[in-house]
Amino acid sequence: MSRQEEMLEKWQGEVFTYVIGAKKEEGGTRGSVVKAGGEKTLPFLDKEGFFPNTAAVALEILDVPPADWPEELVAAYGGVTANPLEWADACVRKFGAELLCVRLAGAHPDAGGRMPEQEAAFLSKLAAAVNVPLIVRGCGDDVKDNTLLPLCSEALKGERCLFGSASQDNYKTLTAAVTADGHGIIAESPIDLNIAKQLNILISDLGLPLERIVMDPTIGALGYGLEYAYSIMERARLAALSGDRNVACPFICFTGQETWKVKEAVAARADFPHWGDKEKRGILWEAVTASALLQAGADILVMRHPKAAEEIKKYACHR
Amino acid sequence: MLVIGELINGMFARVGRAIEEKDAAAVHRIASEQAVCGAGALDINCGPGSLNPADDMKWLVETVAAAVDKLLVLDSGKEEVLEAGLQAAGRPCLLNSATAEPNKLKRLLNLAARYKSGLIVLTVGSSGMPQGCRQRIESAAQIVEICVETGFPLDNIYLDPVLMPVSVAQAQVGAALETIREFKVISPELKSVVGLSNVSQSAPHRRLLNRVFLSMAAAYGLDAAILDPTDRELMESLSAADIILNRNIYCESFLKECGGAKDGRG
């Protein structure tokens, strides 16, 4: 036995694999599927075990033109963000997205309050317009989401999407809906591993198997608490590999959402001349945040800038 | 901690009867119940009343394996009974048990190696029941020496420090705890196991003594215990100990986990 072999860790457990998207033969209409999770060791330690699946990179779109996105982010899509279906099409065809995350921001009471029926119809059109697997997120208002998401879940029945988000205070309605319609769920916890674990148990107690849960540990961008998220993800993953099934779900990280609101990504060059080119800076901030999260064990990265997504894909495939 | 369910033992009336009547459903029930309660392995013992222990072991192994996918711990003093169990299992098991007595230990190591199985070895030497931590460690050292000689992997050895009843040999209980920790000094690969119920033999408040000992042994680094997993308070103590020792991530439902396997898997 060589010295090096003696140092290698042997893990008992593994991360569950959640397959997003269902093709025709499985009752869906997706042209491809994305497998998230399945790791048998820590990220990038390929001598200790296998990572059967590359980390997935999703581009994020909204159901309405983005109101609060910085202009260079909007400009990166060349004007299509005014029409969400064209936007989705550009993500897939022009930027090669393997996975699309749509946030139903327009349903929020403060953002126009689009009706659940309207959103469900939009999702049906979206599913017809693009054939990549879908992640669907509510508007973030619990009361609205509890009427909105069940209808949306039903509209996409059989497509095996990922729906979010469930939280410790609001998980029952969404869990029931996705269980019935064959989707998976995003379980969101506030940078707190104890709550993350508890939420997984609560959701699985309602009858949705742990294998259909993806954890959102809540992340911060580089410089904004990224290290807290990192250490929680690392601890959860160590426990999962040691056999704790209740934290053995894949991670989803909303890197775009967190990055494109921090000063370093959006501040004008005129305000901080020594920070350099604004567009490059934002892309780099998102890509660097995402790469750190890959090291922490992220399985799905939801990103906003197509250039940052393109860069991170080159790194993710080495995992 | 690996929980080895002790209930499939011909010594218990309902199991003895099930063996006699070849009542597979009864054995399935006992096996599944233990698995659901959090057992990661099941001890299988035909009991002292068995007339054809090799046949009974074969039947029990086949019957249990059909009900649950758990590590099987074949429990017999007779090598031919152990081999009958290994053949019936058709996969690696854990053999229970050998002592430090070299001739029998070598034969059982050979048997375990042929079936890629593990072996429980009691730290009992030629001088009879061990006294104090030191005698136990001496036996452990002899056992390790023989394993190394024969090329048997140490991570497939479970050392049993031999629990004595607190009502009979009170000082020996603490010595057993010390020994559990010392095993890892000999080699970090070595695992430890106890037959928990011994500690409370012929004492009142048996379940209390069992669960206090188990929690303490967990803190000393015990790797496995043969016990009654349907003793809910015992399993809950173990879950709490795992939380206190930071071996399991705390959450409000920590009691539901029963050693991290509330659904009986993993």
**A40-92, pLDDT tens digit by residue?**
999 998 888 888 899 999 999 999 999 999 999 999 999 999 999 999 999 99
CB B231: neighbour CB atoms within 10 A? 18
Which DSSP string do the residues of B250-265 spell out, in sequence order?
A: --TTGGGGTTT-TTS-
CB contact under 8 A, A246 and B250: no
Tokens of B76: 């017999």
Percentage of residues in chain A with pLDDT exceeding 90?
91
DSSP code, position A80: G
A-chain residues near B253 (CB < 8 A): 198, 201-202
* Tens-level pLDDT at each residue, chain B (266 residues): 999 999 999 999 999 999 999 999 999 999 999 999 999 999 999 999 899 999 999 999 999 999 999 999 999 999 999 999 999 999 999 999 999 999 999 999 999 999 999 999 999 988 888 999 999 999 999 999 999 999 999 999 999 999 999 999 999 999 999 999 999 999 999 999 999 999 999 999 999 999 999 999 999 999 999 999 999 999 999 999 999 999 999 999 998 765 444 333 33
Q: Match 């400009």 to its residue by tokens.
A: A75
* pLDDT tens, residue by residue, A89-128: 999 999 999 999 999 999 999 999 999 999 999 999 999 9
**Measured distance CA(A255)–CA(B147) in Å, rounded:** 53
- CA-based max dimension of chain B: 51
Q: What is this structure's pTM?
A: 0.88
Which residue is associated with the tokens 């009142």?
B204
Residue of A nearest to B260 (CA): A244
Euclidean distance between CA atoms A27 and B114, whole angstroms? 48
- Measure CB to CB from residue B249 to each of A13, A197, A202 and give the nearest one: A197
- A195 in contact with chain B, both atoms CB, cutoff 8 A: yes
pLDDT of residue B266: 31
Best CA proximity match to A84, nearest among A119, A33, A112: A119
How many CB contacts within 8 angstroms connect chain A with chain B?
A: 35
**A277: CB partners within 8 A, 6+ apart:** A269
- Both tokens of residue A268? 């004008």
Q: What is the per-residue burial (b if ≥16 Cβ within 10 Å, else e) of A213-246?
A: bbbbbbbbbbebebeebbebbbebbbbbbbbbbb
- Please state, in angstroms and rounded to a whole number, the distance separating the CA atoms of residues B151 and B157: 12
Six-digit token string for B197: 């119920």
Residue A4 predicted with pLDDT over 70: no
Distance CA A37, CA A15 (A): 6
Chain A residue at shortest CA distance from B247: A239
For residue range A172-185, list pLDDT tens digits in order: 999 999 999 999 99
Residues of A in contact with B154 (CB under 8 A): none
Q: Which of A13, A202, A239 sits opposite B249 (nearest CB)?
A: A239
Show the tokens assigned to A289: 């945040």
Instruction: Locate B75 and state its tokens.
Output: 């429990």
Nearest-by-CA chain A residue for B257: A246
Q: Is B188 exposed, middle or buried, given 0-12, 13-18 or 19+ CB atoms closer than 10 A?
A: exposed
Q: What's the complex ipTM?
A: 0.84
Given B251, B260, B266, which is nearest A198 (Cβ)? B251
H/E segment holding residue B118: strand B118-122
Read off the pLDDT of each residue in A289-308 and give the average, rounded to a whole number. 97
Partner residue facing A244 (CB), from B248, B252, B256: B248
Q: Which two tokens stand for residue B129?
A: 């029941």
Per residue in A95-104, pLDDT (tens digit) is: 999 999 999 9
Residues of B at the A interface (Cβ-Cβ below 8 Å)? Answer: 248-253, 256-257, 260-261, 265-266
Rounded Cα distance, B23 and B15, in Å:
9
CA terminus-to-terminus distance, chain B: 12
